[in-house]
Structure 1
Amino acid sequence: MSDFRLEAAILAAGFGTRMFSPIPKMLSKILGDPLVRYPFEALSAMSSPPGKTYAVAGRDSIAHALPESVVWIQQKQMDGTLGAVEAVVLSPDWISGDATHLLVVNGDAPLLSGDLLDDFLGKSMASGVDMAIGTSTLDEPGRYGRVIRDRSGVSMIKEYVDLSLEEKAIQEINAGIYLFSREVLKTFLPKVLPHPEKKERFLTTVVELVREAGGEVGGIVLSPDVVLGVNTQEELSYASGLLKNRINKKHMASGVTFWDPASTYVGPRVRIGPGTILFPGVILEGDVVLSERTHVGAGSHLTDVHSGPDVTIRDYCVISGSRIEAAAIIGPFAHIRPDSHVGPTAHVGNFVELKKTSLGEGAKANHLAYLGDAEIGAGSNIGAGTITCNYDGVGKHKTVLGKNVFVGSDTQFVAPLKVGDGAVIAAGSTITEDVPPDSLALSRTSQENRDGAAIRYRERLLAAKREHQVAPGGQGG
């Protein structure tokens, strides 16, 4: 196979009308990732990934769902699966390229894996056929097209509307995975005519044309669950359940503890170190990396988060697009928004929100605070009720606190400003100017104690209450 060069195509141009949703089918999410991302990840996980991957889209804009390395092709004429592959074959990238074979997969097949595609490719090439298709056997094949075989292999794939009564009893179906040589695509794609009833050109017609020309078509039988397609919301939910169980079992086999796997949702790109414990109701999606011995509390939701070892995330925290360093403690009920960084052994406590903020090593914000567009130095302590006033109605501004700064409760920092190392901010202060290192800053008014004033105050209130009760129309009680 020294002259074998593979490229791949993901067919993602279908309308998805049976989803009954304004969201394009290929962008429907399973465990946090769009449907079309799954076949791409399977292709990327092959032992020798395709040199180039094409994605064929229809009227919907879905390019943001896949990496920039993917070659996007717009299928201008919605002419079935054949029209999608034809769009690839007529593209400048394919024409000018040197690929010998094209591997075709459906964009709505979330259970594909690199191992399965490796197996399909290996068996296809070993059989020496001119073209290969993936097939599956279903107890109830329903309205799927059927695979018709003879002594030489697959002779045709018949659409349901063309099946005889006997052929409807066949349980082997087309699984939607194809391997074509460049020569087969060049020779037979232009010869496919529209189906007389459906008025579409079907990619499966190439099977008959290859056989009529004396070629061989191999049928590689695959697991039904692995090649499951998604066309309805019910099928989306079913596929999500299968994928969730597969992913959770993989992590458990690698030393991750799930208190309740049934209620824990882990996305396909999540990486988890051994010794990690996930409590019930945890959701991990996107590019999440949890190092060893991380504890994630019940009901917490992490998206695109990287954490170091021995991190504790307590119950009901929402964290996205951020990094948490070793032995930090988060929560409960903390909200860490994108572009935040929590340093080693730092604490972010209950009802604390970070937005584009960094906490240095050992810094603490343990209670009821909003820190936005801020840089908090190592060892600093943020009192309860502290707010960085980062937005002036037009732009965002930064607050910078040095090392070992002590901030008293109920403090407002009106950005932009800087506070030097070792400074102390008195409780209840509104800080509008820079504070030098090791300075004490306070801005509240002086306290005044008036002897006996509380007694006189209560007497006035009681007198007013009695007067109201005896006035005409007044009500007692």
Structure 2
Amino acid sequence: MAELLSIILAAGEGTRMKSALPKVLHPVGGLPVVSHVLRTAQGFGSKVAVVVGPNHEAVEAAVTRFDPSCQIARQEQRLGTAHAVQQARAALEAASGHVLVLYADTPLVTARTIGNIVSKLDDGADMVVVGFRPGNPTGYGRLLTEGSQVRAIREHKDATDAERQIGLCNSGIIGFRSDALRGVIDRIGNENAKGEYYLTDAVELATGDGQRVDFIEADAAELVGVDNREKLAEAEATFQQFKRKEIMAAGVTLRDPNSVWFSWDTEIGRDVTIFPNVVFGPGVKIADNVEIRAFCDVEDAVIGEGASIGPFARIRGGAELGPNVHLGNFVEVKKSKIGAGTKAGHLSYLGDAEIGAKTNIGAGTITCNYDGVNKDRTIIGDNVFIGSNASLVAPVSIGDGAYTASGSVITEDVPADALALGRARQENKPGYAPKLKQRALAKKAAKGK
């Protein structure tokens, strides 16, 4: 395959997003939309140049964080797509193979579409335009075709009534032989309704030079551009549908697919069952034969083979769960490592902890990891029994085989095989309960006056 350069246009202001955050940094599937485009380009081993607008330091930072090797170019004045491509001149002049012009606000373009463009260029096309057929073509440029060739692209504002009846629209994505793009980019003018330099005018220039301009059609769903909150939601919904199909095809059972939400990097093994209303944030890896019950929220976590999670569990912050771990309802785990076969069945918070294998965490257990300034760790060994309603005040260590009595506040280390009791001695006062009740009733009556 010829060397590939992807020029990603990310200079748009995105005013319709009504946001202080640049539109290309809004997330879809937990990843900024521009990073989706970078990721697709990287899949082809492409060199990347990203064109950003003025005062877009946040975009530059996000792009270079995701791909430190990419080149950054700046479009100080927004004078159109051809003008934007010109700002990446240094990368373009060095290109020797094919060039793709992609858009940072179109996050769902598939590898298949990129592959089809590259194949056409490899087959001898000088340019390849990506078209699609939206339900409502109003506002889109139209592809004026003749057989398999594109003769021109007409922007909606400049199109005749007859041209506006054409259903095949321009996505904006174009592939070029690098010498073909260099041959037309500086000849594009701005004689149009908006006075901008349109990259689409390259088609007529190329055909006038006798060059071959092909087109391919892509699914409209993958070409949604994120320029307002409605389109952002549409892109998210489409991404989720793509991801659900991918996950199920890999051997995962989704009890109610439309209620399960994934992130771009979610990794799930085979024979996993996911119940309704589960949300996966970024950084989740799940091994085989795991069960995630309803209403769980999981992010930045590794879950081992055979584990059972939920319902109503929250796993986050770098949590690592070993094989056959069981976490039940209303258990939260944060930045903790839990060993194989350990169980926490109900109503517990396990934060900044390291827990061994085959340990039982009783209902209502809390690792008290935060003193208002610092966060300290709780270390619990293998085969430990933590009684219900225990408060483990970090830093604290509980040895292998130890027991802590229910209701205990554990503030000191517990040796292996020891029983720890950290609670006040019970005292009974015969006949005192009615007095307390009468006192409470009198207080209530006084409030009613």
Out of 15, 18, 22, the position equivalent to 2:16 is 18
Partner of 1:390: 369
Matched ranges for 1:437-456 at <5 A: 437-449=416-428, 453-455=429-431
- 8 A contact 2:153–2:201 mirrored in 1: yes
Whether 1:80 aligns to 2:80 is: yes
Of the structure 1 ranges 342-351 and 75-84, higher mean CA displacement relative to structure 2 is found in: 75-84
Partner of 1:55: 50
Q: Distance in 2 between matches of 1:206 and 1:308?
A: 50
Q: Spell out, residue by residue over 1:68-118, the C-alpha distance to the aligned partner (whole angstroms, 9 max, x if none).
A: 255152423222211221222235xx54x4532211122233442212222
Query: How far apart are 1:238 and its partner, in Å?
Result: 4.0
Q: Distance in 2 between matches of 1:474 and 1:308?
A: 61
Structure 2 stretches of 5 or more lacking a match?
none
Report the secondary structure of 2:332's partner residue.
Answer: strand
Alpha-carbon distance change, 223 to 346 in structure 1, aligned in 2, over 3 angstroms? closer
Q: Spell out, residue by residue over 1:257-286, the C-alpha distance to the aligned partner (whole angstroms, 9 max, x if none).
A: 44334xx2xxxxxxxxxxxxxxxx222223
Alpha-carbon distance change, 297 to 70 in structure 1, aligned in 2, over 3 angstroms? farther
Report the secondary structure of 2:211's partner residue.
Answer: coil
Alpha-carbon distance change, 322 to 136 in structure 1, aligned in 2, over 3 angstroms? closer
- 8 A contact 1:44–1:114 mirrored in 2: no
Query: How far apart are 1:316 and its partner, in Å?
Result: 1.3
Matched ranges for 1:106-185 at <5 A: 106-126=103-123, 128-137=124-133, 140-149=136-145, 153-185=149-181
- 8 A contact 1:89–1:185 mirrored in 2: no
- 8 A contact 2:252–2:273 mirrored in 1: no
Q: Distance in 1 between matches of 2:18 and 2:260?
A: 29
Alpha-carbon distance change, 427 to 152 in structure 1, aligned in 2, over 3 angstroms? closer
What TM-score, normalized by structure 2, do the two folds share? 0.86
Partner of 1:301: 279
- 8 A contact 2:333–2:351 mirrored in 1: yes
What TM-score, normalized by structure 1, do the two folds share? 0.82
Q: Spell out, residue by residue over 1:325-354, the C-alpha distance to the aligned partner (whole angstroms, 9 max, x if none).
A: 111121221111221111112221222211
Point out the structure with max Rg over C-alpha.
Answer: 1
Q: Distance in 2 between matches of 1:144 and 1:21?
A: 25
- 8 A contact 1:412–1:429 mirrored in 2: yes
Query: How far apart are 1:20 and its partner, in Å?
Result: 3.8
Alpha-carbon distance change, 40 to 100 in structure 1, aligned in 2, over 3 angstroms? same
- 8 A contact 2:108–2:223 mirrored in 1: yes
Q: Distance in 2 between matches of 1:475 and 1:41?
A: 65
Q: Distance in 2 between matches of 1:391 and 1:331?
A: 25
Name the aligned partner's letter for residue 183 of structure 1.
D
Report the secondary structure of 1:26's partner residue.
Answer: helix
Alpha-carbon distance change, 341 to 150 in structure 1, aligned in 2, over 3 angstroms? closer
Report the secondary structure of 2:271's partner residue.
Answer: coil
Q: State the number of aligned residues.
A: 442
Q: Distance in 2 between matches of 1:419 and 1:465?
A: 42
- 8 A contact 1:152–1:216 mirrored in 2: no
Partner of 2:200: 204
Structure 1 stretches of 5 or more lacking a match?
265-280
Matched ranges for 1:195-234 at <5 A: 195=191, 197-234=193-230
Partner of 1:101: 98
Q: Distance in 2 between matches of 1:465 and 1:42?
A: 68
Matched ranges for 1:372-383 at <5 A: 372-383=351-362
Name the aligned partner's letter for residue 290 of structure 1.
I
Out of 402, 405, 412, the position equivalent to 2:381 is 402
Partner of 1:267: none
Report the secondary structure of 1:333's partner residue.
Answer: coil
- 8 A contact 2:253–2:274 mirrored in 1: no
Name the aligned partner's letter for residue 185 of structure 2.
L
Partner of 1:43: 41
Query: How far apart are 1:400 and its partner, in Å?
Result: 0.6
Q: Distance in 2 between matches of 1:52 and 1:242?
A: 27
Whether 1:259 aligns to 2:255 is: yes
Report the secondary structure of 2:179's partner residue.
Answer: helix
Query: How far apart are 1:176 and its partner, in Å?
Result: 1.4
- 8 A contact 2:121–2:177 mirrored in 1: no
Of the structure 1 ranges 61-70 and 324-333, higher mean CA displacement relative to structure 2 is found in: 61-70
Q: Distance in 2 between matches of 1:11 and 1:237?
A: 21
- 8 A contact 1:124–1:220 mirrored in 2: no
Alpha-carbon distance change, 313 to 178 in structure 1, aligned in 2, over 3 angstroms? same
Identity %: 38
Name the aligned partner's letter for residue 331 of structure 1.
G
Report the secondary structure of 2:195's partner residue.
Answer: coil
| CA RMSD, Structure 1 to Structure 2 (Å) | 3.2
